[in-house]
Structure 1
Amino acid sequence: MFARDIMTKELITVSPETTVDQAAKIMSEKNISGLPVIDEDNRIMGIVTEGDLLGKHKKIDPPGYIEFLGGIIFTESQDEYFEQLQKYVATKVVQLMSTDVVTVTPDTPVEELPTLMDQKEIKRVLVTEKGKLIGIVSRADVIRALS
């Protein structure tokens, strides 16, 4: 059995200009946990997930600092803080989506998917052919196929 045999082919996707509120509404209404973000040529730009939406609403703690001789010295990296801040103010999917998307081909054996999902700590993989999105396989799909 291969990814093509268990993938969902009727895809629900969004464009990078979809608002965060629209994406949340789609996920809620369709009872799905992630939406591929594609361009006009059906090429994957990223994915927006429940985790991304939750991250937008989590409390943001500024980096620690100490005052020394009239100056401020940060005791931890500011990069993570600014990344969280950018997600907090995001209004479009393109500002919130994850761009590190894991893809497989239609010929990927189903038996390889649990290891891949575990190693990458993801809940779904996108199935591509010739650089274009053709399906999605969730953990639930894999469990059904293996049981």
Structure 2
Amino acid sequence: MQAYEIMMNRTYKVKESDTVRSVIEKFIAYRISGLPVVNDSNEIVAYISDGDIMRYIGKYNDFVIDTFFFATVIKGDDEDFLKRAQRLLNLNVMDIAQRKVIKVAWNEEIENIAAILGKKKIKKVRVERNGVLVGIISRGDVIRHSFKALL
């Protein structure tokens, strides 16, 4: 089974010229947690996720790990949370997006996609054909298509 057989063809995306405001609006409207960032030719140039947003709006702290489960804050900034959030909305998406994007070819085998998702510990992988975004595959997509016939 290949990527094009299991990918979601409907992909939400943002352009590299968009603001973070448009990203968050799409996160809320479509109940998603990440978006590919594309250029005018629909080529993937970055990826922005809810984690990128969290890193920006969270206090910039230094943590000391006391145990496996707990961290102690030893220093933090005092800027108001709402001020950080407001400033974030007006940033260009490329200011905080991850430029290293993990993607697969439209004809990649499903077992290779499963290995990439597992090894890289990511939830989704972008699918491209001739350098252009054509779909997205999630871990759930791989599981559903892999075990559908077996259950």
TM-score class, shorter-chain normalisation, is 0.7 to 0.9
1:100-127 deviation per Cα after TM superposition (whole angstroms, max 9, x unaligned): 1011111111122221112112111111
Output the TM-score relative to the length of structure 2.
Answer: 0.75
1:8-50 deviation per Cα after TM superposition (whole angstroms, max 9, x unaligned): 1111110112211221120121011211100000111101111
Task: Output the amino acid matched with 2:145.
Answer: A
Partner of 2:71: none
Q: Using the alignment, how far apart are the partners of 2:33 and 2:143 within structure 1? A: 16
Matches of residues 42-121 of structure 1 in structure 2 within 5 Å?
42-61=42-61, 90=88, 91-121=91-121
Task: Output the amino acid matched with 1:61.
Answer: N
Same amino acid, percent of matched pairs: 30
Partner of 2:26: 26
Aligned-residue offset at 1:62: 6.2
Moved over 6 A (4+): none
Structure 1 gaps of 5+ residues are 64-86
Q: Using the alignment, how far apart are the partners of 1:23 and 1:112 within structure 2? A: 30
Structure 2 gaps of 5+ residues are 64-83
Aligned-residue offset at 1:2: 0.9
